[in-house]
Structure 1
């Protein structure tokens, strides 16, 4: 069948209901897009959970080597890795019971989207979470 973007209302609901976002590939460098996006989302009230085996902490949060290492519930897995890594990340997202697999702008994988959807996750692909949040939650993030 192929991937179809969720409706704007569905994306808004994902963001409204999310409190923890695991950012796979989050860089510790403030010049990197992943850092800037995560920092903006953290400022909006989301808990950012770095997933990067090469850093200890980012934005004041402990970094984890893999999604499997995170000892608490993750609402959204936001992927800042190359598309060829998306299937492996989707499998882990399903394993940990995340609510949504979000592949950032430019990250495309029909197979990852299919695996995540079959595993019960919502899927957003080739969209920037920061941009969607700014457009859809203009009043800010509701308190959960």
Structure 2
């Protein structure tokens, strides 16, 4: 069952340092771009993932094709994909040993969430970390 208690979400956000953002956009008008900027401003390292803009830079970070290319340990994989496509990102998150998957507002994929939980990952669905940081009063990352 995905994390739904505020204390669990607060702990996840407070303990994370590195976030991979699947579906990152280089367009400032896109929610993924704005959320990435907000997460960086909160102190997280955010690594953008998007095959359409691989090799470019978003907010100073190199854009990777997929999660399998990342060499750094990932605490949270934040998924800006539609609900059906989220499953592939969840499977990649499991494969790279991420600690958690976070499906954005409107993104719900119960089978993918069940696979992630079975693999030991924390799961958040249909929420936005930018909103949750403010709502829960999570202190900036040092």
Mark the CA change 1:94 to 1:4 in structure 2 (over 3 Å): closer, same or farther.
closer
SS at match of 1:30: coil
Residue of structure 2 equivalent to 1:94: 94
Equivalent residues of 2:3, 2:122 under 8 A apart:
no
Mark the CA change 1:48 to 1:4 in structure 2 (over 3 Å): closer, same or farther.
closer
1:31 aligned residue (29, 40, 63):
29
SS at match of 2:74: coil
Aligned-residue CA RMSD in angstroms? 1.1
SS at match of 2:73: coil
Q: Which runs of 4+ in 1 moved over 3 A?
A: none
Residue of structure 2 equivalent to 1:22: 20
Structure 2: give runs of 5+ residues left out of the alignment.
Answer: none
1:47 aligned residue (45, 48, 66):
45
Question: Could you give the per-residue CA deviations for residues 7-35 of structure 1, whole angstroms, max 9, x where no partner exists?
Answer: 10010010001111100000000000000
Equivalent residues of 2:101, 2:123 under 8 A apart:
yes
